[in-house]
Amino acid sequence: MNLDIDYYELLEVERTADEKTLKSAYRRIAMECHPDRNPGCDKSEAKFKAISQAYDVLKDPQKRAAYDRFGKEAFENGGMGSGGGQGGAGFGDFSDIFESFFGDAFGGRQRGPARGADLRYDLEISLDEAFHGKDAEITIDVATACGTCEGTGATPGSGKRRCNLCAGHGKVRAQQGFFVVERTCPTCHGRGEVIESPCRACGGEGRADERKTIAVNIPPGVDEGTRIRVAGRGEAGPNGAAAGDLYIFIHLSRHKVFERDGTTLFCRVPVSFTTAALGGEIRIPGLDGAEHVIVVPEGIQSGKQLRQRGAGMPVLQGRGRGDMVIQIDVETPSKLSARQKEILREFRETETGAECPQSTGFFDKLKGIWDDITD
């Protein structure tokens, strides 16, 4: 087999292959030609090194872009990762040049193994659970440290050696005209070391996908969009690097009675027209399990809001609670007995207009408008 062929052909994938396809192809071929499975076979060893080099380039978006444009020349004779020379077709981006002059003091790239990726999980809970808080368990698929190599990426019993490309410095230099640009070594990714014999189980990544169940504490008072950080429960970093974090975003399901705005609970309550006229009490069971007695003043109108202090949602990571706001909706009776109708007719005969000043005033305004038109 000619090992100097195109990287995509080596990995037996299309040029449009995504990261997942590349990883799957690399692991499959690496298992087939791994030196441990083919002892003494120089051809298998050479193929294993070739596909490892191909995967190292294609899994990195910047190096892959350089390879797609310039081929292997991007990494030779002054290209990306070269130790010197002219040309420099694969310089990457402007941040590399900026970093070469000002270094890490002005936000240069972090050296050493990259931290694992952060993960997001969307969790829906009820308003009652948001009020009281809860202990929840979530199940996620996450890259964890490989159990075979314990996250090192190396076959158990093997070790690491100094990177030949950067001579163990973790950095390489390339010349572009009058400038000499220093960047992270593309072979060892700034570690200064490379794995001699990649772990067969994880293909040298030091990580393996695993389904995990994680316990999470949801504190009282969380709201829609609240973000809870679980440190170190994101994806494991490559080759033993630190894991990322898990971020849980809270979403609240619709409640059948209450609506929420911050720590305030809103509730629309229909009351009979007799209660609205004469006044009285209404009793509202709150999310706290207590029965809240709301005094309705006589003569209350629809749309009027009554506030019950301290009967709302807890303050997240604080003290106290918000309020409960009751909006009154006066209900006109639709089914009346003969006696009730008789009583209402008697009441209407005794009306003077002062009982309902708003309606009386409104019709007085209409009468005035009509008089102006007819004069």
pLDDT at 113: 56
Q: Mean pLDDT across the chain, nearest whole number?
A: 81
Q: Is residue 106 part of a domain?
A: no
Query: How far apart are the C-alpha atoms of 325 and 298, rounded to whole Å?
Result: 18
More confident call, 374 vs 27: 27
User: Is 199 flagged in the annotation as binding?
Assistant: yes
pLDDT digits (tens, 9 = 90+) for 246-282: 999 999 999 999 999 999 999 999 999 999 999 999 9
**pLDDT at 323 exceeding the cut of 70:** yes
Positive or negative: CA dihedral 206, 161, 167, 82: negative
Q: Is residue 365 part of a domain?
A: yes
What SS3 class is residue 27? helix
Same domain for 123 and 235? Answer: yes
pLDDT at 327: 96
**pLDDT at 199 exceeding the cut of 50:** yes
pLDDT digits (tens, 9 = 90+) for 147-191: 788 777 788 877 778 888 888 888 887 766 556 677 888 877 777
More confident call, 365 vs 348: 348
User: Is 185 flagged in the annotation as binding?
Assistant: yes
Q: pLDDT-based confidence at 201, cuts 50/70/90?
A: confident
Q: Which among 40-44, 203-207, 309-313 has the top mean pLDDT?
A: 309-313
Q: Which among 19-28, 63-72, 146-155 has the top mean pLDDT?
A: 19-28
Angle in degrees, CA 69, 70, 73, rounded to 5: 160
Q: Are 188 and 42 in contact, with CB atoms under 8 Å apart?
A: no
What SS3 class is residue 51? helix
Average pLDDT value for residue range 178-207: 78
Percent with pLDDT over 90 in the chain: 36
Backbone angles phi, psi at 89, to 5 degrees: -70, -30
Same domain for 216 and 332? Answer: no
Q: Is residue 131 part of a domain?
A: yes
User: Is 33 flagged in the annotation as binding?
Assistant: no
Average pLDDT value for residue range 201-211: 80
Q: Is residue 193 part of a domain?
A: no
Domain count, the chain: 2
User: Is 202 flagged in the annotation as binding?
Assistant: yes
Q: Are 244 and 234 in contact, with CB atoms under 8 Å apart?
A: yes
Ramachandran area for residue 353 (φ above 0: left; ψ -120 to 50: alpha; else beta): left
pLDDT-wise least confident of 96-110, 186-200, 238-252: 96-110
Q: Is residue 57 part of a domain?
A: no
Q: pLDDT-based confidence at 137, cuts 50/70/90?
A: very high
| Model confidence, pTM | 0.58
pLDDT at 228: 94
pLDDT-wise least confident of 140-149, 184-193, 326-335: 184-193
Among candidate residues 238, 254, 270, the one where a domain is terminated: 254
**pLDDT at 52 exceeding the cut of 60:** yes
Same domain for 207 and 151? Answer: yes
pLDDT at 262: 93
What CATH number has the domain bearing residue 149? 2.60.260.20
Q: Is residue 64 part of a domain?
A: no
User: Is 41 flagged in the annotation as binding?
Assistant: no
pLDDT at 365: 73
**pLDDT at 88 exceeding the cut of 50:** no
Burial class for 145, CB neighbours closer than 10 Å (0-12, 13-18, 19+) = buried
User: Is 356 flagged in the annotation as binding?
Assistant: no
User: Is 146 flagged in the annotation as binding?
Assistant: yes
Among candidate residues 254, 274, 294, the one where a domain is terminated: 254
Q: Which among 46-50, 238-242, 322-326 has the top mean pLDDT?
A: 322-326
More confident call, 5 vs 74: 5
Same domain for 314 and 208? Answer: no
pLDDT at 297: 95
Average pLDDT value for residue range 63-82: 65
Average pLDDT value for residue range 221-231: 93
Among candidate residues 228, 254, 280, the one where a domain is terminated: 254
The continuous run of DSSP H or E covering 19 comes out as helix 19-33
pLDDT at 275: 93
Q: pLDDT-based confidence at 90, cuts 50/70/90?
A: very low
Average pLDDT value for residue range 39-67: 83
Same domain for 243 and 352? Answer: no
Same domain for 227 and 316? Answer: no
- Give the residue numbers spanning the domain of 148: 115-159+198-254
Q: Are 86 and 175 in contact, with CB atoms under 8 Å apart?
A: yes
pLDDT at 221: 95
pLDDT at 111: 47
Q: Is residue 14 part of a domain?
A: no
Q: Is residue 75 part of a domain?
A: no
